[in-house]
Amino acid sequence: MSLQVKGLPEIPEETARVAWSAFPKGSLAMSVRDQLGKVFADELFAEAFGVRGAPGLSRALLSLVTVLQFTEDLTDRQAATMAVRAIDWKYAMGMELSATGFDDSVLARFRARLVEHGMERLVFDRLLEWCREQGLVGAGGRQRTDSTHVISAVRDLNRLELAGESVRAVLEALAVVAPVWLAETMNVPELALRYGERVSGWKLPSSQVKRERLATVFGQDALALLRAVWAPTAPPVLRTLEPVALLRRITVQTYLVTTDARGREVIRKREAEQDGVPPGHLRLWGTAASLPYVNSLVQRHCGLIVSVGPDLHDAVTTAARHNPRQQFIIVGSPVKLANVRSFPPADQSAVIRAIRQVAEPRSSRRT
């Protein structure tokens, strides 16, 4: 990802008019935007981000989004949704009212690049110091507002969402494949209350204690489901379902099962420094980590899903195999599926033509 020097874009006149009409006294996002341009410049990120390649979102803009999602306790997916539907966020980001936002994966890549170059402190400490001076982020008590905490808190929210969504995906799969078995084995009414709505639609707890408690509940549900599926009386086909395999890997990656002093079983979040990492063949790699997000695009009825490079290749191929009516384009290794068009990376003009062939009919239908 190469991010060209842009800084924060100018606020479109119509966006400003509608935002101030909706928020006569302003909002947190609007207050941050009005002064943020004086705090950061894209040049601060030159060490971590190249200046060559296709332009992307500005570094200052991604810093703004990361801090806003931290203050509002939002996952990456929720932050990307806010950029589409929240008028004050559009104001803060300098977006047109009709703008469709950005893909949530860019936020994770942005944070990873900062951490890789040791720049998370340089960037966010400067921003958060200004926020404290303006009274936008609390400076007293036990609240931590240093940059490392911002990165960690946002990452934990995303892990929490992934843990809950993986349980929900298994419940949906089991309800289709073995509804009678599921009803006889699990407490379906209770699970339906907990997972009936997508976790990405929740307002996740702001309290660390409540987050830990929710993570434990997700872990307990995951463990109960996996033990039920692997029980001798369970239909063997259940163990072949991809959502089940994904849940198993996520559970091993995220949780550790131990016993307390009284011999009772305890499930808690895995800490790499304290507990080590899971076995290599069970760690979350590309397909396991990416498939839920590719599936979310399918569920949003996107007209076309385009994958470039090897990182998402296996996840997109898996999603294409299970969603024959969804159209895909893969730039990279060829895939022989009726709903997938594959192109070599060098043939950029062919990719553009293929995308236009899908986009133009949809555009004409809207008009």
Using 50, 70 and 90 to split pLDDT, how confident is the model at 147? very low
Structure pTM? 0.47
Q: Looking at the structure, do residues 63 and 173 belong to the same domain, yes or no?
A: no
Q: Looking at the structure, do residues 229 and 295 belong to the same domain, yes or no?
A: no
339-361 residue pLDDT tens: 999 988 778 788 888 888 876 65
In a domain, 152, yes or no: no
Q: Looking at the structure, do residues 263 and 291 belong to the same domain, yes or no?
A: no
Assess whether pLDDT exceeds 60 at residue 17: yes
Assess whether pLDDT exceeds 50 at residue 283: no
46-72 residue pLDDT tens: 555 554 433 456 777 887 888 787 777
In a domain, 120, yes or no: yes
Range of the domain at 57: 13-145
Last residue of a domain, one of 282, 305, 329: 282
CATH number at residue 345: 3.40.50.2300
Gyration radius of the chain's alpha carbons:
22
Q: Looking at the structure, do residues 300 and 324 belong to the same domain, yes or no?
A: yes
Q: Looking at the structure, do residues 104 and 55 belong to the same domain, yes or no?
A: yes
User: What does the angle CA 198 – CA 286 – CA 162 come to, to the nearest 5 degrees?
Assistant: 25
Q: Looking at the structure, do residues 17 and 108 belong to the same domain, yes or no?
A: yes
Q: Looking at the structure, do residues 325 and 206 belong to the same domain, yes or no?
A: no
Most confidently predicted of 118-132, 160-174, 254-268: 160-174
Count structural domains, the chain. 3
In a domain, 150, yes or no: no
In a domain, 2, yes or no: no
Q: Looking at the structure, do residues 251 and 313 belong to the same domain, yes or no?
A: no
pLDDT at 238: 92
In a domain, 153, yes or no: no
Using 50, 70 and 90 to split pLDDT, how confident is the model at 253? confident
Q: Give per-residue burial for 56-82: e unless 16+ CB within 10 Å, then b.
A: bbbbbbbbbbbbbbbbbbbbbbbbbbb
321-340 residue pLDDT tens: 888 889 999 888 888 899 99
In a domain, 207, yes or no: yes
Q: Looking at the structure, do residues 274 and 290 belong to the same domain, yes or no?
A: no
User: What does the angle CA 133 – CA 73 – CA 139 come to, to the nearest 5 degrees?
Assistant: 25
In a domain, 272, yes or no: yes
Last residue of a domain, one of 145, 180, 214: 145
pLDDT at 144: 44
In a domain, 96, yes or no: yes
Last residue of a domain, one of 89, 122, 145: 145
Q: Looking at the structure, do residues 253 and 136 belong to the same domain, yes or no?
A: no
Q: Looking at the structure, do residues 187 and 274 belong to the same domain, yes or no?
A: yes
Q: How many CA atoms lie within 13 A of 235 on its CB side?
A: 14
Q: Looking at the structure, do residues 334 and 301 belong to the same domain, yes or no?
A: yes
